[in-house]
Amino acid sequence: MTYPIAEFCADLGDVPHATDAMTIRKKSRDQFAVSPLLRQSLAGRVADVVASPRSKDDVLTIIKAAVKHRIPLTARGGGTANYGQSVPLQGGILLDMTGLSGIVSINEGNVRALSGTCMADIDVAAREKGWEMRIHPSTRSVSSIAGFVAGGSGGMGSCQWGMLRDRGNITAMEVVSVEAEPRFVELRGRDVELVHHAYGTNAIITEVEMPTTPAWTWKEVIVAFPEFLVASRFGVQLASEPAITKKLISLQEWPVARLMTALGDIVPDGHTMVNCMIAAPTMDAFKGLVDDFGGSIVHESLEGQGFYGAPIYEFAYGHGLRQIQKSQPTYTGLQGMFPAQDLLPTIERVHAAWGGTAPLRMEVFLSQGEVVTMGSPGIVYENEAQMAAIVAKLQSFGVKVANSHTTGVREVGIKQFDDRDAVFKRSMDPHKLLNPGKLDFDDIPASDSRSSLPTQGWSFRKAG
């Protein structure tokens, strides 16, 4: 589709923007290349222009020009998403929000920041006042706060505080509509769910407020277990221990420790590793739990000071897959939610089904106050039919699989919808300009960027 880009740029005044091929190519990508399916379906999808607001006034100028010329807008933060959330499927304007950054306020128990503020910078500012973020992504050094809440579902701290969707983990958001006269709207309470994990398809986020917790000195610990199932029982029990303060519980079955080459040979052959972050004052209790389950601590260091050259959380969640792909480029995985009900038996059934032929990777965290795990067997990718068969097999064991190899909000299957969502989308984006192709409530054909994996998506208990 051809858009009047020259006319749009003329209406921007002094708002920074770029139309050179190198900038457009760089800003039109995120980390979707971790998926072999998205590498194919998103190839060649690029914007026509990159606009980089420095202020809310700049945001308004860009929106008004986009609406005037009916050009799609796709917002981007640090570009760390794994599903192509910020890839412009229909070209148009790539809205680089990283210039809209800065701390708005730090108060007792919460921090508010402009949307493009880097998560690491927020933590530095909060720690100066004795606080830290409850939850942050494995990509903290690059991810923006709005990118995290718009594209993420949880991360470091979720084993203590739950998922982002759990009540109280996102306090408020300021968003702006995309119409001729844009409106700023403050969302609080359950209304933040409307924009959380919606990939910027229904509003442009300008500010985010999130809760903080008293800052801790964190220890990175790698624990080795001879048996995966013992390691999984340990991880589930650790998540259930309220008095052991933790930020990460990440299970990696052998030989994942060797595939993550930065870890060297610290984990003994044949052992499952459990990577943890534990608050220093609770280390004695943690070590007692390790002893109870027959594990061995093979490494302990302060946060970010391990011999492996990066914080331990960069070996977990989606970042962990990137570590593996450095030595095994065809390796991939699925986002299977192992539900709290029948959790350990489900893990045992899945483990038995693959019989050690595909190592399990799992993150342990809380969802709606209960311990769950998220992960799958490791997959050396062959084709989509192979992936579909693994999805079907996992779901036959009761695992709820989200589709991390597609770009549509509903097709991924993590965000939950109710009657408010369509009303909000139509109110805030009446011209359907926001990140088109990823969320539409009208009866239209699915975008050809979406895979056909037979995933059922994640499910959560309804309140009441």
Instruction: Establish if 308 belongs to a structural domain.
Output: no
Instruction: Establish if 413 belongs to a structural domain.
Output: no
| Per-residue model confidence (pLDDT) at position 356 | 75
pLDDT tens by residue, 431-462? 999 999 999 887 554 444 555 788 988 988 77
Task: Report how many domains make up the chain.
Answer: 2
Instruction: Establish if 327 belongs to a structural domain.
Output: no
113/191 same-domain check? yes
pTM: 0.95
pLDDT tens by residue, 343-388? 999 999 999 999 778 999 999 999 999 999 999 999 999 999 999 9
226/365 same-domain check? yes
Q: Which domain covers residue 391, as residue numbers? A: 218-302+334-402
CA–CA gap between residue 150 and residue 76 (Å, rounded): 10
pLDDT at residue 97 is higher than 70: yes
CB neighbour class for 89 (10 Å; exposed up to 12, middle 13-18, buried from 19): buried
pLDDT tens by residue, 263-306? 999 999 999 999 999 999 999 999 999 999 999 999 999 999 99
What number is the average pLDDT over the span 242-253?
98
pLDDT at residue 74 is higher than 50: yes
| Per-residue model confidence (pLDDT) at position 451 | 59
CA–CA gap between residue 56 and residue 181 (Å, rounded): 14
268/373 same-domain check? yes
The helix or strand, by DSSP H or E, that contains position 409, with its residue range, turns out to be helix 409-412
CATH number at 227 reads 3.40.462.40
pLDDT tens by residue, 173-197? 999 999 999 999 999 999 999 999 9
CATH number at 171 reads 3.30.465.10
157/209 same-domain check? yes
Instruction: Establish if 124 belongs to a structural domain.
Output: yes
CA–CA gap between residue 122 and residue 105 (Å, rounded): 10
Instruction: Establish if 458 belongs to a structural domain.
Output: no
pLDDT tens by residue, 191-224? 999 999 999 999 999 999 999 999 999 999 999 9
| Per-residue model confidence (pLDDT) at position 62 | 98
266/397 same-domain check? yes
- The average confidence (pLDDT) of the chain is 94
Question: CB of 449 within 8 A of CB of 39?
Answer: no
Which residues make beta-bridge pairs with 188? 172
210/250 same-domain check? no
| Per-residue model confidence (pLDDT) at position 445 | 44
123/236 same-domain check? no
Instruction: Establish if 414 belongs to a structural domain.
Output: no
Name the domain boundary from 214, 241, 274: 214
Name the domain boundary from 188, 214, 240: 214
Helix, strand, or coil here: 239?
helix
Q: Dihedral of CA 154/53/449/416: which sign? A: positive
128/201 same-domain check? yes
Instruction: Establish if 310 belongs to a structural domain.
Output: no
172/254 same-domain check? no
159/114 same-domain check? yes
| Per-residue model confidence (pLDDT) at position 154 | 95
Name the domain boundary from 369, 402, 435: 402
Share of the chain above pLDDT 70, in %: 98
244/191 same-domain check? no
Number of C-beta neighbours around residue 414 at 10 A: 22
pLDDT tens by residue, 16-51? 999 999 999 999 988 888 888 888 888 999 999 999
pLDDT at residue 83 is higher than 90: no
Instruction: Establish if 152 belongs to a structural domain.
Output: yes
What number is the average pLDDT over the span 153-160?
96
175/224 same-domain check? no
- What DSSP character marks residue 136? B
| Per-residue model confidence (pLDDT) at position 173 | 98
| Per-residue model confidence (pLDDT) at position 461 | 77
| Per-residue model confidence (pLDDT) at position 84 | 83
Identify the band that residue 109 occupies on the pLDDT scale cut at 50, 70 and 90.
very high
Identify the CA nearest to 251 among candidates 332, 351, 341, 169: 351
